[in-house]
A and B are shown apart, each in its own frame.
Chain A
Amino acid sequence: MKRIWAICSFEIKKLFIKPQSYLLMFGMPLLFTLLFGGIMGDSSTGKVTLAFIDQDHSMMSKSLYDTLQNNDLFLLKEMSHNEAATQIKDKKLIGLLEVSKGFENKFASEGQPMVTFKYSPDFTSNAMIDQIVSNAIAKMKIQSTASTVWSNYSKESWEKMYPVLDKEISTSTPSIQKVSITKNMKKQEMGNVSARSAGFSIMFVMIVMMSVTGVLLEARKTGVWYRLLSTPTSRLEVMGGYFLSFFLIGWIQFGVLMAASTLLFGVHWGNLLGVFILVTSLLLCVVGLGLFISGFVKTTEQQGAFGSVIITATCMLGGVYWPLDIVPSFMQKIAEFIPQTWAMRGFTELISRGGSVQDIVAPVSVLLAFSVVFLAIGITRVKYE
Chain B
Amino acid sequence: MLEVSKVRKSFGKTEVVKGVTFSVERGEAFGLLGPNGAGKSTTISMICGLLPFNEGDITVDGYSVKNNPMEIKKRIGVVPQDIALYPTMSAMDNLLFWGKMYGLSRKNALNRAYEVLDIVGLRDRAKDKIETFSGGMKRRINIGAALMHRPQILIMDEPTVGIDPQSRNHILETVKQLNKEGMTIIYTSHYMEEVEFLCERIGIIDHGEVIAVGTKEDLINRLSGGTVIKMEIGHYNKSLVEELNTLPFVEKIVTKDDERELEIFVNSSHQALGELVSTAVKNNVEVSTIQVQEPNLETLFLQLTGRSLRD
* A residues whose Cβ falls under 8 Å from a Cβ of B: 2-3, 6-7, 10, 13-14, 17-18, 222-224, 226-234, 385
**Known pairs A223-B80, A234-B70, A385-B51 / 20 extra A-B pairs, C-beta < 8 Å:** A3-B100, A6-B100, A7-B101, A10-B86, A10-B89, A10-B97, A13-B93, A14-B89, A222-B83, A222-B84, A223-B81, A223-B82, A226-B50, A226-B80, A227-B84, A227-B98, A227-B145, A229-B50, A232-B73, A385-B52
Choice from B51, B82, B88 contacting A14 with Cβ under 8 Å? B88
Which B93-148 residues have a C-beta within 8 angstroms of A?
93, 97-98, 100-103, 145
List 27 contacting pairs A-B, 8 Å CB cutoff, sorted by A.
A2-B100, A3-B103, A6-B97, A6-B100, A10-B93, A10-B97, A14-B86, A14-B88, A18-B88, A222-B84, A222-B85, A223-B81, A224-B85, A226-B50, A226-B80, A227-B78, A227-B98, A227-B145, A230-B48, A230-B50, A230-B80, A231-B73, A232-B70, A232-B73, A232-B102, A234-B70, A385-B52
Q: Which residues of B contact A229 (CB under 8 A)?
A: 50
B252 at the interface (CB under 8 A from A): no
B2 at the interface (CB under 8 A from A): no
Q: How far is the CA of A230 from the CA of B81 in the complex (A)?
A: 13
Q: Given A6-B100, A6-B101, A230 and B49 touching (CB < 8 A)?
A: yes
Count B interface residues, CB 8 Å: 28
Q: Given A232-B73, A385-B50, A385-B51, A226 and B82 touching (CB < 8 A)?
A: yes
B91 at the interface (CB under 8 A from A): no
Q: Which residues of A contact B97 (CB under 8 A)?
A: 6, 10
Of B84, B93, B145, the most chain A CB neighbours within 10 A belong to B84
Q: Which residues of A contact B83 (CB under 8 A)?
A: 222-223
Q: Which residues of A contact B70 (CB under 8 A)?
A: 232, 234
B76 at the interface (CB under 8 A from A): yes
Q: Which residues of B contact A226 (CB under 8 A)?
A: 45, 50, 78, 80, 82, 84
Q: Which residue of B lies closest to A233 (CB)?
A: B101
Q: How far is the CA of A192 from the CA of B85 in the complex (A)?
A: 45
Which B132-175 residues have a C-beta within 8 angstroms of A?
145
Q: How far is the CA of A18 from the CA of B85 in the complex (A)?
A: 17
Choice from A17, A230, A385 contacting B89 with Cβ under 8 Å? A17
Q: How far is the CA of A13 from the CA of B85 in the complex (A)?
A: 15
Expressed in whole angstroms, the minimum distance between the Cβ of A258 and any Cβ of chain B is 28
Q: How far is the CA of A9 from the CA of B70 in the complex (A)?
A: 23
Choice from A7, A10, A222, A385 contacting B82 with Cβ under 8 Å? A222
Q: Which residues of B contact A3 (CB under 8 A)?
A: 100-101, 103
B74 at the interface (CB under 8 A from A): yes
Q: Which residues of A contact B74 (CB under 8 A)?
A: 232
Check if A230 sits within 8 Å of B88, measured CB to CB.
Answer: no
Q: Which residues of B contact A6 (CB under 8 A)?
A: 97, 100-101
A interface footprint on B234-262 (CB within 8 Å = 1, 0 otherwise): 00000000000000000000000000000
Q: Which residues of B contact A228 (CB under 8 A)?
A: 101
A interface footprint on B42-68 (CB within 8 Å = 1, 0 otherwise): 000100111110000000000000000
Expressed in whole angstroms, the minimum distance between the Cβ of B38 and any Cβ of chain A is 19
Q: How far is the CA of A229 from the CA of B78 in the complex (A)?
A: 10
Q: How far is the CA of A385 from the CA of B70 in the complex (A)?
A: 16
Q: Which residue of B lies closest to A231 (CB)?
A: B101
Expressed in whole angstroms, the minimum distance between the Cβ of B307 and any Cβ of chain A is 28
- 6 smallest beta-carbon distances between A and B, as pairs: A223-B82, A223-B84, A227-B84, A6-B100, A230-B78, A232-B73
Check if A232 sits within 8 Å of B103, measured CB to CB.
Answer: yes
Q: How far is the CA of A228 from the CA of B86 in the complex (A)?
A: 12
Q: Given A3-B101, A10-B97, A232-B103, A224 and B84 touching (CB < 8 A)?
A: yes
Q: Which residues of A contact B98 (CB under 8 A)?
A: 227, 231
Q: How far is the CA of A223 from the CA of B50 in the complex (A)?
A: 12
Q: Which residues of B contact A234 (CB under 8 A)?
A: 70
Q: Which residues of A contact B78 (CB under 8 A)?
A: 226-227, 230
A interface footprint on B262-276 (CB within 8 Å = 1, 0 otherwise): 000000000000000
Check if A231 sits within 8 Å of B102, measured CB to CB.
Answer: yes
Q: Which residue of A lies closest to B100 (CB)?
A: A6
Q: Which residues of B contact A17 (CB under 8 A)?
A: 88-89
Q: Which residue of B lies closest to A385 (CB)?
A: B51
Q: Which residues of A contact B85 (CB under 8 A)?
A: 222, 224
Q: Which residue of A lies closest to B71 (CB)?
A: A232
Expressed in whole angstroms, the minimum distance between the Cβ of A229 and any Cβ of chain B is 5
Q: Which residue of B lies closest to A221 (CB)?
A: B82
Q: Which residues of B contact A232 (CB under 8 A)?
A: 70, 73-74, 102-103
Q: Which residues of A contact B89 (CB under 8 A)?
A: 10, 13-14, 17
Q: Which residue of A lies closest to B76 (CB)?
A: A230
Expressed in whole angstroms, the minimum distance between the Cβ of A241 and any Cβ of chain B is 10
Q: Which residue of B lies closest to A226 (CB)?
A: B80
Expressed in whole angstroms, the minimum distance between the Cβ of A22 and any Cβ of chain B is 15
Q: Which residues of A contact B51 (CB under 8 A)?
A: 385
Q: Which residues of A contact B81 (CB under 8 A)?
A: 223
Of B49, B88, B98, B101, the most chain A CB neighbours within 10 A belong to B101
Expressed in whole angstroms, the minimum distance between the Cβ of A15 and any Cβ of chain B is 9
Choice from A2, A224, A230, A233 contacting B86 with Cβ under 8 Å? A224
Q: Which residues of A contact B103 (CB under 8 A)?
A: 2-3, 232
Q: How far is the CA of A227 from the CA of B81 in the complex (A)?
A: 10
Q: Which residues of A contact B80 (CB under 8 A)?
A: 223, 226-227, 230
Expressed in whole angstroms, the minimum distance between the Cβ of A2 and any Cβ of chain B is 7
Expressed in whole angstroms, the minimum distance between the Cβ of A324 and any Cβ of chain B is 40
Q: Which residues of A contact B100 (CB under 8 A)?
A: 2-3, 6
Q: How far is the CA of A230 from the CA of B285 in the complex (A)?
A: 57
Q: How far is the CA of A299 from the CA of B120 in the complex (A)?
A: 32
Q: Which residue of B lies closest to A232 (CB)?
A: B73
Q: Which residue of A lies closest to B145 (CB)?
A: A227
Q: Which residues of A contact B102 (CB under 8 A)?
A: 231-232
Q: Which residue of B lies closest to A224 (CB)?
A: B84
Of A17, A224, A231, the most chain B CB neighbours within 10 A belong to A231
Q: How far is the CA of A10 from the CA of B92 in the complex (A)?
A: 12
